[in-house]
Chain A
Amino acid sequence: MSASQILSQLPVGSLATVRDLPKQGTAFLRLREMGLLPGTSITLIRTAPLGDPIEIKVRGYHLTLRKSEAEHIVVEPATAK
């Protein structure tokens, strides 16, 4: 059992599953269309040199988004084994 977290606070390198993202807003619709949906697993690859934006791996490719968007995305970290 792991608690929900928000994407922008996930440590670099961790695996997680998307749980929820806002329904409204063009940015979030585009993120969904890019394959970031509830249930999708992602890996946080790195943050940019100045700490923002972040880079995640989703459905086998790399995607960047800003922390201001990542703050609204609820994820569930995978239990590390």
Chain B
Amino acid sequence: MAPDFKSPSPARAPVFALVGNPNCGKSTLFNALTGLKQKVGNYPGVTVEKKVGTAYSQHGHALTLIDLPGTYSLAARSPDEAVTRDVLLGRRADTPQPDRILCIVDATNLERNLYLVHQILDLGRPVILVVNMMDLAAQAGLEIRIGRLEQELGIPVIACEAAHGKGIIELKLAMSRPDLPLSRHAWDVPAAISSAVAELQASLVASDLKAPLIARAEALLLLTDQDAMRVAGSTPLSARTAEILNAWKKRWEAEGTDWAGTLVNSRYDVITRLCSELVHRKKAVTGPSVSDRIDSFVTHPVWGWLALGGVMTLLFLSIFIFAEHPMNFIDGQTAALADWVKGSMPEGELRDLITDGAIAGVGGVVIFLPQILILFFFIGLLESTGYMARAAFIMDRLMGSVGLNGKSFIPLLSSYACAIPGIMATRTIEDKKDRLVTILIAPLMSCSARLPVYLLMIAALIPGESVPLLTKVGIMLLMYALGTFGAFGFAWLFKRTLLKGEPSMMIMELPPYRLPKLRDIALQMLERGWMFLKRAGTMILGISIVLWFLATYPKAPEGTPPDQQMAHSFAGMAGHAIEPVIKPIGFNWEIGIGVISSLAAREVFVSTMGIVFNVEDAQENTEPLRVALLSAKWPDGRPLFTPLVCFTLMIFYVFAMQCLATLAVVKRETNSWKWPAFQLFYMTGTAWVLSFIVYQGGRALGF
């Protein structure tokens, strides 16, 4: 359609990239432009989220909009930022190089936001600048001369309040323009580094086949990228260019030239000059702002902890209280569906496969969906109000004591509900090693799938009809504490051995508090929920079918009582096969079946015990199961589930890696099989060793 779009085929919709600093309202704008027409996935090769949506021009033509991860600079410090940089530079084969760039800035914070704009303008692509949050800037007494900015930069500049839908039409009009002027913005590369830039640019054009303007931008970037963050899926530099770059760096190092600093300084010089002409303080703002007042409470040495504790308590209670009814509902629907299939299909293997394999297996995972949705609602709420950054600020010192930083706090907290969203939430951690350590320890936080196992074991542990609440809570707390201290212990260990590196950095903006955008939160919540269903669901479906198969085949000979079927099956054989390994920790082959089957998901242990000990309705009511467990015996007549064994089993479940859905997510998030394999090994190993110590120690003490 437009001659200006350098698209090879006329059929392709022009691609707009949306870039900006974190907290500048990018997602709100993206949602306002694309509505529900968006797709979320991962960039192939990296696990950074890829958000692509369709917007329409004023003439009704489709426009593709890519939402790139928020970044402060093109000199990337995290995989997220590296993706933004690489997409803009056309380094990624899997993403079309954007035809145009929408650059969004926060009007209340123009000076810092313009740094990224300054880098973007170097790219030589048509840019539309969106100055968002004009209302908040006005409230802060700032007057921004949009017309002047447009004049200075020579590109369309749109004043906008994305949260209220103001400026969207003007923006769409600008996006619909067939011609967009290139920026007139020209600045002199500081003399100290200009010859290096020229030489690198020439090499990038000749050896890396880049367009001249992009080559200049890339040359400038190579000089500030001290420890260039590389992500998989991006094309590497040619040998010649890399050689030139190294030669210059060596020379400057010898001369003591601060090349990166010079470059940043000269950009800020231009920006400061520009801002002094653009931004006028209409009135002096007196007294502390609302944000300052909230912060003096929320980060207060006493009240701050109380507030954090309150938020955490609220989060936990909501996960458990609000999720209860939908979880029961899902449980009921799953059972009803299974009953319906039972009623409408002839008895047989296929029917059992569908009800006991597929429906029961997938139902066991889908049941966590309400908890995950609630958790992501809270994370979205905390993030969009700005509290999340405060939580990281308060917790940084504590997390720092094991070598992590405050940003690991929320992912770990989330893992108490379920490690899967927790691991997905580690994406906010820039440092690769910090992120990896957080992912590795996240499953140690006692997730809600362990609860049914704890509850069953506590019930079996204590004689009598009902367990006193205080005892129950006490044992439960002990298990949670074990997992938590274990997690921090391992974080400390990993940071000192396996993932040793520079201490992580904690350079973070504390954004002003803002009212949450419920629509954005809801959209994100649905996306995450869907991702969970897709990732965990497909895998669990497969595993459930396999497990069903292992428990059903081979068939026991005719005439064997049905409760002997398990012993004859592959699962029974596997249980017998691992008995020598688990005997030292007090488990027999029947528990072994439970341990193996709960590889799929821990709570499966309860239903497996129901099957193994042939108890109907083990899910609905643990009482008959408790009785069955208490009457289970070793061949020599000793009781199987002694209090010591129950306790050991709980400890085993605290530490063992028994969640294939988590392993699948870790595989995706780390992009390798190495880490999930390591996790499986170290966690299960620890579980065994600790169980061994507890069980043998307990026996020695006469329990």
Q: Residues on A close to B: CB < 8 A?
A: 23-27, 29-35, 37-38, 45-46, 48-53, 55, 59-66, 68-69
Contact = CB atoms under 8 A, between A and B. Distances in A.
Given A30-B507, A35-B268, A55-B393, 10 more contacts: A23-B258, A24-B226, A27-B507, A33-B75, A35-B111, A55-B299, A61-B509, A63-B508, A65-B505, A66-B400
Interface string B507-521: 111111000000000
Contacts, number: 116
Contact of B506 (A26, A45, A60, A65): A65
Contacts of A65: 505-507
Nearest to B510: A62
Contacts of A25: 226
A42 B261 CA distance: 19
A35 B112 contact: yes
Contacts of B75: 29-30, 33
Given A31-B507, A33-B72, A61-B509, A26 B226 contact: yes
A21 B209 CA distance: 37
Interface in B451-481: none
Contacts of B112: 34-35, 59-61
Interface in B227-243: 227
Contacts of A48: 299, 393-394, 396-397
A62 B509 contact: yes
A27 B505 contact: yes
B393 A66 contact: no
B57 interface: no
B371 interface: no
Contacts of A31: 507
Given A34-B72, A37-B265, A48-B397, A53 B506 contact: yes
Contacts of B77: 26, 30
B109 A64 contact: no
Contacts of A63: 507-510
Contacts of A26: 77, 226-227, 505
Interface in B266-310: 268, 291-292, 295-296, 299-301, 304-305
Contacts of B73: 30, 33
A25 B75 CA distance: 13
Contacts of A62: 291, 509-512
B506 A64 contact: yes
14 contacts: A24-B226, A29-B264, A34-B112, A35-B111, A35-B112, A45-B292, A45-B295, A53-B406, A55-B299, A55-B393, A61-B112, A62-B512, A63-B510, A64-B508
B622 interface: no
B299 A46 contact: yes
Interface residues of B, number: 44
Contacts of B509: 34, 61-64
B41 interface: no
Contacts of A50: 394, 397-398
Given A23-B261, A26-B226, A33-B75, A49 B305 contact: yes
B503 interface: yes
B330 interface: no
Contacts of A64: 389, 393, 396, 506-510
A81 B115 CA distance: 33
Nearest to B389: A64
B108 interface: yes
Contacts of A38: 265
A53 B396 CA distance: 7
A45 B393 CA distance: 13
Contact of A49 (B227, B265, B394, B511): B394
Interface string B401-433: 000001000000000000000000000000000
8 residue pairs, one from A and one from B, having the closest CB atoms: A50-B397, A62-B510, A23-B258, A27-B505, A33-B73, A32-B264, A49-B301, A59-B111
A61 to B, nearest CB: 5
A69 B396 CA distance: 14
B224 interface: yes
B198 interface: no
A27 B77 CA distance: 9
A33 B263 CA distance: 10
A73 B295 CA distance: 25
A30 to B, nearest CB: 5
Contacts of A29: 75, 224, 226, 260-261, 264
A1 B514 CA distance: 41
A64 B509 CA distance: 6
A23 to B, nearest CB: 4
Given A30-B505, A33-B72, A61-B109, A52 B261 contact: no
Contacts of A51: 397
Nearest to A40: B268
Contacts of B397: 48-53
Among B72, B264, B292, B305, the most chain A Cβ lie within 10 Å of the Cβ of B264
Given A23-B258, A48-B394, A59-B111, A37 B264 contact: yes
Nearest to A46: B299
Nearest to A27: B505
A66 to B, nearest CB: 5
B628 to A, nearest CB: 50
Contacts of B227: 26
Interface in B505-559: 505-512
A64 B77 CA distance: 16
Contacts of B503: 68
A51 B397 CA distance: 8
A34 B268 CA distance: 10
Nearest to A59: B111
B72 A30 contact: yes
A66 B258 contact: no
Given A34-B112, A60-B108, A66-B505, A55 B396 contact: no
B435 to A, nearest CB: 15
A49 B298 CA distance: 10
Nearest to A38: B265
A49 B299 contact: yes
A34 B111 CA distance: 10
Contacts of B305: 49
A58 to B, nearest CB: 8
A16 B75 CA distance: 28
Contacts of B393: 48, 53, 55, 64
Contacts of A35: 111-112, 115, 268
A33 B301 CA distance: 30
A59 B72 CA distance: 14
Contacts of B265: 32, 37-38
Contacts of B505: 26-27, 30, 65-66, 69
